[in-house]
Amino acid sequence: MSSTFQLDTSTSRANPTPAPLKRLTIPAIRARKAAGVTAEPIVMLTAYTARQAQLLDAHCDLLLVGDSLGQVIYGLPSSLPVTLDMMIAHGAAVVRGSWHSAVLVDMPFGTYEGSKEQAFASAAQILKETGAAGVKLEGGEAMAETVAFLTRRGIPVMGHVGLTPQAVNVLGGYNARGRSDAEAEKIVTDARALDQAGAFAIVIEGVVEPIAIAATQAVSCPTIGIGASAQCDGQVLVTEDMLGMFERVPRFVRRYEELAETIAGAAQRYAADVRARAFPGDEQTYQPKKG
Ligand code: KIV
């Protein structure tokens, strides 16, 4: 099927008509787990830019504009300084760059924990200004009332339990959770509370495998694992991690490319060409018309 493109001058986006793919909906993703079984695991990756979204979109079910962009894009020491404005700018870019995946935007630290009303105002602003389909927020039992409040008011929420990076100062680091009985019990209780509150899916991050499996079996909605278990109902990775953009990656990451080497190698060859006056060459330079 061939598409024609129309330039939207306000966004510089070339919109194809007809759109190449149909956008997945949150109810369709929620329905992938039925009677405790997810026949086809849910594929989620992070995306922060329009071009990245264009490249990932056709292969994913969900694109997450994660607050990990604080470290990955902005070089911040953690996700704590990330603001609503940053999430909205990147969220809108990812929505513009995708046609198929449902796009979720992380609620940044300090924009939802104060009260369920604060959470609604922040989440509504995200949905209005980005066009995303839903939000993700961290925390279990303590956030259940907020998740129910948002869901009942038309905002789909993905929960996030286990290693919750916004709570790094309370957790004391980024180590895997669920090694003690108390921690293990809390993770399953948190997942249950979010499920009962109406979360359409739950990220389980950095959790020892048996507890990730127990939490997955304990909830009716799909779980999305990261550093958890292949038995979760889906998986997510930070795209830059799986592309090999960083020297150091957590052990739960599988690197599908070594892009850091590719990019540094290209920069090295370009620099050598410039210093040798070998770039630009004839093909890259404009000459006056002859005659
Ligand atoms: O911020 C993020 O990218 C995330 C994923 C790692 C789940 O929360």
Question: Which CATH number is 25's domain given?
Answer: 3.20.20.60
**Is residue 285 in some structural domain?**
no
Q: Is residue 24 part of a domain?
A: yes
The pLDDT value recorded for residue 12 is 64
Assigned domain for 264 exists: no
C-beta of 68 in contact with ligand 1 (< 6 A): yes
Question: Nearest C-alpha to atom 3 of ligand 1 is from which residue?
Answer: 66
Q: Provide mean pLDDT across the span 257-280.
A: 98
For position 64, what pLDDT does the model report?
Answer: 98
Segment 58-81 mean pLDDT: 98
Total tally of structural domains belonging to the chain:
1
Q: Shortest CA distance to 134 belongs to which of 216, 182, 200?
A: 200
Question: Quick check: is 73 in a domain?
Answer: yes
Determine, yes or no, domain membership for 287: no
279 lies in a domain? no
pLDDT-based confidence at 244, cuts 50/70/90?
very high
pLDDT at 10: 67
Distance 141 CA to ligand 1 centre (A): 19
Nearest ligand 1 atom, CA 46: 3
The first and second tokens of residue 266, run together, are: 């290209």
Residue 220 in domain: yes
Structure tokens given for 7: 């330039």
Catalytic residues: 205
Say what percent of the chain tops pLDDT 90. 91
Q: Model confidence over 30-67: pLDDT tens digits?
A: 999 999 999 999 999 999 999 999 999 999 999 999 99
Check if 238 has its Cβ closer than 6 Å to any atom of ligand 1.
yes
Mean residue pLDDT across the chain: 95
Write out pLDDT tens, residues 94-108.
999 999 999 999 999
Q: What are the φ/ψ torsions at residue 93 (nearest 5 degrees)? A: -65, -40
Helix or strand run (H / E) with residue 268: helix 259-275
Secondary structure (DSSP) of 45-108:
EE--SHHHHHHHGGG-SEEEE-TTHHHHTT--SSSTT--HHHHHHHHHHHHHT-SSSEEEEEPP
The C-alpha atoms of residue 241 and residue 259 are separated, in whole angstroms, by: 10
Domain of 233 in residue numbering reads as 5-242
**Nearest-atom index, ligand 1, CA of 67:** 1
Is 260 part of any domain?
no
